[in-house]
Chains A and B, each alone.
Chain A
């Protein structure tokens, strides 16, 4: 291509982008003289240059546009929205022609008379009809005019004022000189920058290699110059990176126009606000996010925001807001796209998911709202009832997500029905060089991008933390949270002797979206700056790798992709790659809400272990056989100055061969009872998930605990055996005024555990499985004295439930006790903000009872007062 033409195209494309934004600005403030002059100058430049280059079609359109703009500038014509629309059409036509020029190096044939007519009518002061859409090339006018003709003859067209082209050209030449800034910058082709970047990347690698060599040699004369080389390389790397940086505004400048057009098309009022347009990021990254951003803004405008009438009806301001916000955060760029529209329709997404066979009704029922929202990231998933020209074709969010993940970014979605949707994108600053952690597994080394590494944990080999297992699935207890673990060697099908239990290994805690998981590796080395190179095409379908690279020592190493790993093992519903992933994650969520319980394992009548929540057991005792006394059929022991009834659990108390009996002491309100067992095994912490119910009295069911099928005992049953009036006594004590509690916990196990405990403590108890079920009770007009609710539950969680309770006057005054396995200050604060009166640890029975008693007492006091 002719150099002159190439330069013209580059320049014109830039001007066009600027024009779009400027015109929108003009529409909003028609008196902005600076903007008007800018627009006029831009169009004028285009016109002038194309006259110079001999592009008659382009020139005619630009000229007609310029005439109208000239009248705007002179103040003889008001830039009304319809006038701006015609101007925008002219800009579009110019773009079309420029695109044709780029493709074929010649102006595409076409007829612009309608558009030019409209522009001319406008110039003459009429109110024009917007011109028809660009016509097909078929009805082309001959474009065989020679250069000479165009230079000589001022653009034809009936109503066009002839302007001497030569004069324009002179003026054009003068324009760049006007601004001093222009002289400070030079245009460099992207290709050159890319080449430079590649070279610098290689230089970094070579530098790393040299440094590694130097480290092995003491007192090398090379050390000092090498260090200098190293510094210079780093500076150079930064410098070259800077040349590739572009403000994110470059990806945004099309959006005001887009939103304006959408607003007109859909008849909505939309305000687009943009913050942080100056935030810079690598141009390669910029290219990648341009389309996803456009798509999401389009989605917000088209689906997210309601129509003006709907907004009015919902009591919202008529003008819908879309806001874009970009900022740096720890080596990443965060981009937020938020609207204050209707939010995602959870119910419809769920229905659609079921209809498409992505999940069953039962699975949906177990999912949290957020988990359901993740379905919109699935291919071909669109809930728009109508397919509009703008969006709703079911292509979109999945592509957006794929594109973002391709560049190592993450995407998160928060939506509240009626309040709006916020999408948060987190992307690395640059793709070229990343910092990576080098790990070893089965004698192979791998790199993990530092961006997704949260922390490292050493396990086994004498360290305090140890990997635990739930039925062969390794997990790690990390600061009271259960971290799912993935053994890298199994994941990569690298040979391994069946996991050497207790051997030292490392866990790389990685974060994908909102989920954390641990990757078990054998060793952890240094972090290194690596240059990500794409893998060979034949390896592209191995989704666990995001690329490969050459390390400082010259060896090739694969780069692991935490997103891919999470998808493969089904962590993070947000990844949405496969259906089982989502469902399993939802299950994991549900299971996690049952969370970990400290359990006392013991053996009693039979070889299989039995378990009881440790929180229920007051003490463990060993009682000498001769101290056991009999009163009728009852066994008892003198214990702390009282007679404590003993209940043998499948144990023969008459067996004289046993000298000492282990006893679990249950205690309540000054009374105690002892459960005599065969052997106390262990105290473990595990997730209790009762899998098999039991018909046998005294047994709630079986669960897998510490990898063994374990029977969970029903304490209520055994307490009643010790003394029939175990429950009755308390009841009597508080007879007449038995406070009625509503207990909400999604875990059957906890409901079974809590209800006897609370009943024993003299409360009347109603249990609900979900927050929704509880709220139904409210609808039924049920009254309670206090509510005890779990926090982590599928569907509506405890916080949301608390807010719901506080919002409705019927239950608003009820004391609300949160029951949770997580007690951190932040959680407590959050709980209080949501409306909880008190916050108790799940397994602290005493604290729970005390907490309930206290909130009830406080309530009585306030009532009295």
Chain B
């Protein structure tokens, strides 16, 4: 039946591209820190958007926005990571999908799409602040900078 076909299709698609795409990350800065999100989980990059506030929501929830007819919950990644709010609300966001729902992560800036060498990947230093340790699945040593790999599932586990 059609339902089963639909389930298998993305799985196959993922399998095909997985090997090349696994090490590709979208880089972004949050509170001055360079971070990366696996490109496979990123759906969209957005410029500043009109965000509707949601009263009584957790402080990390910035609100919701209309992405081509879909309602997307905006999460302020800076608040989520406990870094100082850098200036105005006009920020870029990265739309990710998590358990069938779309979320837009508000960040200071979105950088580029980079393939990172698995060789330069390291474990989290044990001294990393607890909130960062929870969200980070590892660190990449880039030339002149360190990139923190964010675990989307944990970040969205509000």
Contacts and interface: CB of A to CB of B under 8 A. Distances in A.
A557 interface: yes
Given A536-B103, A555-B50, A550 B66 contact: yes
8 contacts: A191-B2, A445-B52, A537-B99, A538-B73, A542-B57, A548-B71, A550-B66, A555-B50
B56 interface: yes
A850 interface: no
A539 B59 CA distance: 12
A205 interface: yes
B71 A533 contact: yes
B107 interface: no
A548 B55 contact: no
A691 to B, nearest CB: 33
Given A6-B1, A493-B55, A542-B56, A556 B66 contact: yes
Contacts of B54: 539, 542, 545, 558
A663 B146 CA distance: 86
A743 interface: no
- In this complex, the member of B52, B65, B101, B158 whose beta carbon has the largest number of chain A beta carbons within 10 angstroms is B52
B61 A556 contact: no
Nearest to A489: B55
A537 B55 CA distance: 15
Interface in A530-547: 533, 536-539, 542, 544-545
B64 interface: yes
B53 interface: yes
A664 B128 CA distance: 79
Nearest to B100: A537
A494 interface: yes
B52 A557 contact: yes
A92 interface: no
Interface string B88-102: 000000000001010
A526 to B, nearest CB: 18
A124 interface: no
Contacts of A548: 64, 71
Interface in A510-538: 533, 536-538
A1 B57 contact: no
A493 B56 contact: yes
A650 interface: no
Contacts of A191: 2-3
B61 A538 contact: yes
Interface of A: 1, 3, 6, 191, 202, 205, 444-445, 492-494, 533, 536-539, 542, 544-545, 548-550, 554-558
Contacts of A202: 69
Contact of A492 (B56, B65, B101): B56
B48 interface: no
Given A538-B61, A538-B73, A554 B55 contact: no
Given A6-B1, A536-B64, A550 B69 contact: yes
Give 7 closest A-B pairs by Cβ, nearest first.
A492-B55, A536-B73, A556-B52, A538-B158, A556-B64, A542-B56, A550-B66
Contact of B101 (A3, A537, A542, A558): A537
B58 interface: yes
Contact of B66 (A494, A539, A555): A555
A554 B66 contact: yes
Interface of B: 1-3, 50, 52-58, 61, 63-66, 69, 71, 73, 99, 101, 103, 156, 158
Given A548-B64, A556-B66, A539 B57 contact: yes
B68 to A, nearest CB: 10
A545 to B, nearest CB: 8
Nearest to A442: B55
B3 to A, nearest CB: 8
- In this complex, the member of B63, B69, B101, B156 whose beta carbon has the largest number of chain A beta carbons within 10 angstroms is B69
B56 to A, nearest CB: 5
Contacts of B73: 536, 538-539
Given A444-B53, A550-B71, A557-B52, A538 B58 contact: yes
A555 B156 CA distance: 23
Contact of A536 (B53, B66, B69, B101): B101
A492 B57 CA distance: 10
Contact of B61 (A205, A444, A539, A545): A539
Given A205-B69, A550-B66, A558 B52 contact: yes
Contact of B52 (A1, A536, A555): A555
Nearest to B1: A1
Given A493-B55, A538-B156, A556 B71 contact: yes
A599 B65 CA distance: 52
B71 to A, nearest CB: 6
A501 to B, nearest CB: 23
Nearest to B158: A538
A230 B57 CA distance: 36
Given A536-B101, A538-B73, A538-B158, A556 B65 contact: yes
B99 to A, nearest CB: 7
Given A494-B55, A538-B156, A544-B56, 9 more contacts: A3-B1, A493-B55, A536-B71, A536-B103, A537-B101, A538-B58, A539-B57, A542-B54, A556-B71
Nearest to B101: A536
Contacts of B57: 538-539, 542
A837 B51 CA distance: 63
A205 B69 CA distance: 9
B57 to A, nearest CB: 6
B129 to A, nearest CB: 23
B71 A444 contact: no
A108 to B, nearest CB: 20
A444 B55 contact: yes
A526 B1 CA distance: 44
A1 B5 CA distance: 11
A539 B75 CA distance: 12
A96 B106 CA distance: 52
Contacts of A493: 55-56
Contacts of B69: 202, 205, 550
Nearest to B55: A492
Contacts of A445: 52
Contacts of A554: 66
Contacts of A557: 52
Nearest to B58: A538
A556 B62 CA distance: 13
Nearest to A446: B55
A323 B1 CA distance: 41
Contacts of B2: 191
A296 B122 CA distance: 60
Nearest to A548: B71
A226 B64 CA distance: 29
- In this complex, the member of B61, B66, B101 whose beta carbon has the largest number of chain A beta carbons within 10 angstroms is B66
Contacts of A549: 71
A554 B50 CA distance: 10
A205 B61 CA distance: 25
A830 B55 CA distance: 45
B110 to A, nearest CB: 22
Contacts of B1: 1, 3, 6
A267 B53 CA distance: 59
A511 B66 CA distance: 31
Nearest to B60: A538
A191 B1 CA distance: 12
- In this complex, the member of A191, A492, A536, A549 whose beta carbon has the largest number of chain B beta carbons within 10 angstroms is A536
Contacts of A558: 52, 54-55, 64
Nearest to A192: B2
A538 B75 CA distance: 11
Contact of A444 (B52, B65, B66, B158): B52
A539 B158 CA distance: 9
A199 B69 CA distance: 11
Nearest to A544: B56
Nearest to A547: B71
A187 to B, nearest CB: 14
B25 to A, nearest CB: 24
Contacts of A3: 1
